[in-house]
Amino acid sequence: MVLTTRYFPPHKLLLFLSGLSGRTEVDLLGKSVKNSPIYGLKIGSGVKKILIWSQMHGNETTCTRALCRLIKLIEQSESYLKNLRFLIIPQLNPDGAKAYSRFNANQIDINRDALKLSQPESKVLNKVFTEFKPDYCFNMHDQRSVFSAGDPEKAAVISFLSPAMDDAKTISDSRKESMLLIADINKLLQKKIPGQVGRYNDRYNAECFGDNFSKKGAATILFEAGHSKTDYSRSFSKDLMFLSLKKALNSIINKSFLSGLCEDYFKIPENNQKYVDVIINNATVIDQNLIYHNHQLAIQYDEVLKNKNIFLQPTYHSHGKSLKLYSHSTINLSKKLYSKEFIFKENEIVDISFFPDK
């Protein structure tokens, strides 16, 4: 399966920026390891300041695509422009975006560099935070397709976290605000995707930017666009992310979320890693010269960049009589031989017509 839209390299961002109105000021905030520009978009003149950054993990593009739509909306909304002040970094890691990689060009995860500030991209984010002094921080990501939420287990299509500010997980006034804001967004999302919103564990990690900014007093929200069924282009979660962002802005303006309860945040189920992309039922699997009949074979897709497109490459996950896993799609078949070692390397062994678009 080819995923054209999932690839959002710097030239796509440039194309988007060139279509913006004069209401958005596009600033050069700094340069990446490979000297690519990192842009900051300044919009609005309100009192409440919101810092948003996306693609700090270069291969996580769903939120960037949702942000592009949001920026267009902000430009046309007198209410947003009057009440809010935005600094948006749509692509913090342009080198990773180009290479379709989580990491920057030095193979560093920028989101583990909040204390060391060893990378130019981390320095940009830290400097912007220090100078802009945001009331709210939106930290935008994609999560892998392995996450489930709720009981019974459903795929987590959107997930959130109000990052901890210390080991004791103290709920300060600003952290409470982020929890209440998430609870408010969740109310809307439950109407669209009942039971499919997840919450990340809030174990404190000072090296992550979200935790770091939370500690420094900004109401910080981690947004994670997730996976649904066979929507590998993630247009569904992109649209939901757009709605979530819009809801967050409206709530901040009308302050309605402040009357909520932190309990409602904690009621959102924690994410579990219970999903795989595909489960093949009744498979015959060769594993280290042993043959297993009527097994479940779980397959996970790797996203591979080839010729400026993203391809899904099936990889072995696990097999067993009865896997305690759920899958986004299921294939039922019998008398098909799968070799754990070779199935995904030598296409002649697996009937790849079972996989989407092959």
In the complex, which residues of this chain contact Zn ion (CB under 5 A)?
57, 60, 141
Beta carbon of residue 205, minimum distance to Zn ion (angstroms, whole number)? 13
Nearer to Zn ion among residue 144 and residue 176 (C-beta): 144
In terms of DSSP H, where are the helices of the chain? 10-18, 62-76, 78-83, 94-99, 120-132, 173-192, 209-215, 235-254, 262-266
* Closest CB to Zn ion among residues 141, 154: 141
Tell me the closest approach of the beta carbon of residue 60 to Zn ion, in angstroms: 5
User: Cβ of residue 40: shortest distance to Zn ion, in angstroms?
Assistant: 19
**How many CB atoms lie under 10 A from the CB of residue 5?**
17
Nearer of residues 141 and 328 to Zn ion, judged by Cβ: 141
> Using CA atoms, how far apart are residues 289 and 266, in angstroms rounded to an integer?
48
- From the list 280, 268, 162, 269, the residue with the least C-alpha distance to 221 is 162
101/59 Cα distance (integer angstroms):
5
Q: How far is the CB of 57 from Zn ion (least distance, A)?
A: 4
Judged by beta carbon, residue 120 or residue 226, the one nearer Zn ion is 226
DSSP per residue, 275-332: EEEEEEEEEEEEETTEEEEEEEEEEEEEEEEETTEEEEEEEEEEEESS-S-EEEEEEE
Specify the residue, 85 or 141, whose C-beta has the smaller distance to Zn ion: 141
Q: How many CB atoms lie within 10 A of CB 148?
A: 23
* Shortest distance, position 141 Cβ to Zn ion, whole Å: 3
Shortest Cβ distance from residue 183 to Zn ion (Å)?
22
- In the bound state with Zn ion, the residue whose beta carbon lies nearer, of 234 and 319, is 234
Taking CB atoms, the residue at the shortest distance from Zn ion is 141
Q: Tell me, what DSSP letter sits at residue 194?
A: T
In the DSSP assignment, the letter for residue 206 is: T
Cis bond before residue 163 (omega within 30° of 0): no
